[in-house]
A and B are shown apart, each in its own frame.
Chain A
Amino acid sequence: MEALLAIAVGVLSACGVFLILRARTFPVLLGLTLLSYAVNLFLFASGRLRFDAAPLIRAGASYTDPLPQALVLTAIVIGFGMTAYLAMLALRALSEAGTDHVDAGREP
């Protein structure tokens, strides 16, 4: 199971980085989404992988680590905020520069 998760994290981040390095804004957005999945999974995994151990206090239950979950929860929401911001930025850049190339505003 651990190896599977490591593969998932590795592939997601590799795909994310590759897409972020593309020249157009849309693949960059997709790449950022993939990279944030990878990072969220990685952070989450720092609490280790446990089955049926949700951190809900009950008599006689054992729990997984709740702290990474709390961190990842806010990271997911902030990630949405960042994606939204970049999406709006991409549209603004498109309207100002007339192209969706990331280096459209580059000085000569």
Chain B
Amino acid sequence: MNSSTLLVAIPATAFGACALPLLLQRHGRAAAALAAALVMAACLVLLAPLAPAALAGHTELARLAWLPAYGLDFSLRLDGLGLLFCLLICGIGLLVVLYALWYLPQSDRLGRFYAILLLFMAAMLGVVLSENLLLLLVFWELTSLSSFLLVAYDSEKYASRSGARLALAVTGGGGLALLAGILLLGHIAGSHELSVILDAGERIRAHALYAPALILVLLGAFTKSAQFPFHFWLPSAMAAPTPVSAYLHSATMVKAGVFLLSRLYPALGGSDLWFWLVSTTGAITLVYAAAMAFFRHDIKGLLAYSTISQLGLITLLFGLDTPLSVVAGIFHIINHAIFKASLFMAAGIIDHECGTRDMRRVNGMFRYMPVTATLAIIAAASMAGVPLLNGFLSKEMFFAETVAYQPFAGLGWALPMFATVAGMLAVAYSSRFVHDVFFNGEPVALSRQPHEPPRWMRAPIELLVLLCLLVGMFPGWTVGPLLDAAAAAALQGPLPDFELVLWHGFNRPVLMSLLALVGGVCIYALRAPLFAWQAQLPRWHAHSAFERAYRRLAVVARSLNALLDNGSLQRHAALLFAFVVLLGGWAFFSGPTSLVRAPVQAADEAAIAALIALLLGALGATLLYRQRLLALILVSVVGLVVALSFVRFSAPDLALTQLAVETGTIILMLLVLYYLPASAPPQSSAPRLTRDLILALLVGGGLGLTTLQMLGAPVDTISEFYLQQSLAGGGGANVVNVILVDFRGFDTLGEITVLAMVALAAHALLDRLVLVAPLRDTEGRPWASEAHPLFLAMLIRPLLPLSLTVSVYIFLRGHHEPGGGFVAGLITSVAMIMQYLGGGMAFAQPRMPRHPTSLLALGLALAAGIGVASWAFARPFLTSAHGQLRLPWLGEVELASAMVFDLGVYIVVVTVVLCVLTGLGRLSLRVPSAREVL
């Protein structure tokens, strides 16, 4: 396999296999977990051959055209940055799969959980591997949607549902902003491909639309990475099961925002606006969330706010806008993912063992679970930035960056001081986590006796903490190459000089670290007065504010809906026609006023007579619509006149079709009429009549005027092509038929599919339908005693072979003369219906095909199959072939593959008409003591 195939195979495997756990869950929870783990491992295996090149700084691209006209290609890219994130996503994913197997209750079969988790993982892989920004956005939104499902996994809990809704609203809204930003970027750079955009940094920053594009992209990144003031969704999303928090809210989804910052850094970074927006947001988030974390009593709440704060730190590093700060940001992404995932898992274990996460009740755990406690303490120390652990290294780099950053004379002390305060707060909340949970006396009123978790539930934490230590002590050997490759990919340029070592000598960053450690412990020591101070602060809860706004929105939407739509179809129809009149009137009056008049045909007596018949029929039916049978007869007069006018105006095919359809329609309407209540409905009220009359006159007048206008305009048609090609290219002289079965065969295929759906709907709608059939007609007369007069029955039987012959003739000649599948099908079905009419249900039904649905399938398969057959000759779908064939006795016969298509049309039309009409006729058999109608 070449490398671009491998690259495409990574997300393809993830998406393709994400239903696997669902399919395997009936073999047990372990099977579902194994399936999920295998999929993630498979992604890692596929990644392995690509990793060396990516580490060496090579960018692998793969491109499949998708919608090239919109600049949207399915193009993927793997470079150091993508590799780093892929490793995080699949690696931590594997650990989470193992952890969740033990964490989630035994009653859960886990198939659904793992399937959504895999879907999320696939979407995340898509985000970090996308080369096309529009494609990235598709995956981005998919992470929002799948994380919604994961957060709301305990869907019976209100907190889960509302937390998920809040997360979706914030991140989904940010996604919309990001879409706009990406479109602007694409507009500026001329392409949505990253390789173009990353090279166009100069041009993008100089462009007038740079500021809006930057702000929109940042909105997307900040909402996803929970930056102030959009941070509030993350604490609410803690209602998710803890494995989800460990995966989404530490290592992956919340990192998507900072991933985007690093991905687009070469294009968007390096301007004052970037500096101010990104670093200010990051700095506020860093300190504000750190303070909030300290005051949380819920362990996961503390971890959530600490995550927000750490993300703020990463954002601030990207905002500082120097190559080295970018390196530090990426380093911290790695470190934070490792220690925070293990902390979430530890929090989950504590929750699992104690039944609560409230730090005022969960105390002294060190005695009950010493191993877990040791692991969690190491991870928390890493979070606080204690030396020998990975968190210390990136925090040192952060401190060094703040010291080195000197843009404003005289204010050089401000940023380091700010960073030190943030460091103190981080130490304070880490101390609180460690001391409150694991020491600080005895647990308060726990419902169960806590003890160490199962061996394998702890294994993921052990591995992660081991990583904390290894990276902390041997950074150059462990993450060095990966960090170099990722930073080089993020910078798209040479790496700055830096050294990944523990000890740089006693310098200002070390002093800041010491200060932070001492200060943090002091803050923690002062916690009692601090908590008392915090408790009296006015409370404003973003989540409940969102819920209130959400409810108000729903109420407004409901009342608006009720205002526009009171459920009346009559009103709907009236509104629809009124709108049509408005649109039509607007188009009519804003169109060109002066028209070149085309020559017109003179009217003759026959035409005038036909018009009078038509007007009598239409107006009569409208005026007398309450006398239903009469109205129906008048409508059929109109149909006849329409058919005649088709004859007159050179459309023999249409005339044939109209006549045949007319027959079917009238029989259909008579059948309906038989069942409908005979009682004359009350007359409409005067205002309603007036409204309807005005609407009708406006529509009629408008359409009439438009017709006149159109007929007066000169012809501009594309039909010359069809006329020239009909015989030469389609092998038929009847251009209308050749258009139907050949030139526009795809349309016709769609149309017969719609017809087939009507036949299926007949099954659905008429199934077990029982109607009361009247015993007398509307005038009170009983029905004729003889339903099927012998004379009619006898006369109609020999007619069947005759009519079938006619329809075969019409079908066969259709390619050259008026006729074809539609007309022949209608004629055949009318012939069949006549048998029902003459002989009755009992006579005709047993003689008809038993399974109309298989006939439908046959017809559609013929039509579609002849289309597919052209692929065998390497031609596009529905290419037709034709030629002369010499047959004994018959001589030269012109054959076209389109005739097979026409046969499919024929079969579908026959089946549909028969299905509908006999289905309606059969209703009478279900009514006890009622008589047949057909």
**A residues lining the B interface (CB < 8 Å):** 1-15, 17-27, 29-30, 33-34, 37-38, 40-42, 44-58, 63-67, 69-70, 72-74, 76-85, 87-92, 94-95, 99-103, 106-107
Contact = CB atoms under 8 A, between A and B. Distances in A.
13 contacts: A2-B712, A10-B700, A11-B618, A18-B692, A22-B692, A30-B669, A44-B651, A56-B818, A64-B649, A64-B651, A65-B719, A78-B755, A83-B668
Contact of A17 (B625, B699, B818, B822): B699
B817 interface: yes
A15 B619 contact: yes
B625 A69 contact: no
A37 B607 contact: no
A14 B671 CA distance: 26
A56 B642 contact: no
B601 A2 contact: yes
B747 interface: yes
B596 interface: no
A90 to B, nearest CB: 6
B715 interface: yes
Q: Which of A1, A6, A10, A69 has the most CB of B within 10 A?
A: A69
A52 B650 CA distance: 5
Contacts of A42: 703, 706-707, 710
Contacts of B628: 26
B833 to A, nearest CB: 13
Contacts of A63: 650, 723, 735
A104 B912 CA distance: 28
Interface residues of B, number: 112
B622 A15 contact: yes
Interface of B: 566-570, 573-574, 577, 598, 600-604, 607-608, 611, 614-615, 618-619, 621-622, 625, 628, 631-632, 635, 638-639, 642, 645-646, 648-654, 657-658, 661, 664-665, 668-669, 671-673, 675-677, 681, 684, 692-693, 695-697, 699-701, 703-708, 710-712, 715, 717-719, 722-723, 726-727, 733-736, 739-740, 744, 747-748, 751, 754-755, 758, 761-762, 765-766, 769-771, 816-818, 822, 826, 909, 912-913, 916, 919-920, 923
B241 to A, nearest CB: 39
Given A84-B758, A95-B771, A51 B684 contact: no
Contacts of B733: 56-58
Contacts of B703: 9-10, 13, 38, 42
B751 A74 contact: yes
Contact of B625 (A12, A30, A44, A89): A30
**Interface SS majority for chain A:** helix
A34 B735 contact: no
Contacts, number: 308
A42 B717 CA distance: 16
A102 B570 CA distance: 7
A6 B726 CA distance: 31
Contacts of B654: 44, 69, 72-73, 76
Given A14-B700, A73-B653, A103 B635 contact: no
B677 A21 contact: no
B658 A12 contact: no
A80 B650 contact: no
A81 B739 contact: no
B720 to A, nearest CB: 9
A17 B696 contact: yes
A80 to B, nearest CB: 5
Contact of A20 (B573, B598, B817): B573
Contacts of A23: 570, 681, 684
A21 B692 contact: yes
Given A4-B607, A33-B639, 17 more contacts: A12-B700, A13-B703, A21-B574, A27-B625, A37-B639, A54-B818, A56-B652, A57-B734, A63-B723, A73-B736, A76-B661, A77-B826, A78-B754, A81-B912, A82-B758, A84-B668, A91-B771
Contacts of A51: 601, 648-650
A10 to B, nearest CB: 2
B561 to A, nearest CB: 12
A69 B653 contact: yes
B635 A33 contact: yes
Given A44-B649, A70-B740, A94-B676, A80 B664 contact: yes
B677 A100 contact: yes
A33 B639 CA distance: 9
A30 B570 contact: no
Given A18-B622, A34-B635, A73 B740 contact: yes
B715 A65 contact: yes
A47 B717 contact: yes
Contacts of B693: 18
A33 to B, nearest CB: 6
Nearest to A64: B650
A54 B665 CA distance: 26
Contacts of A18: 622, 692-693, 695-696
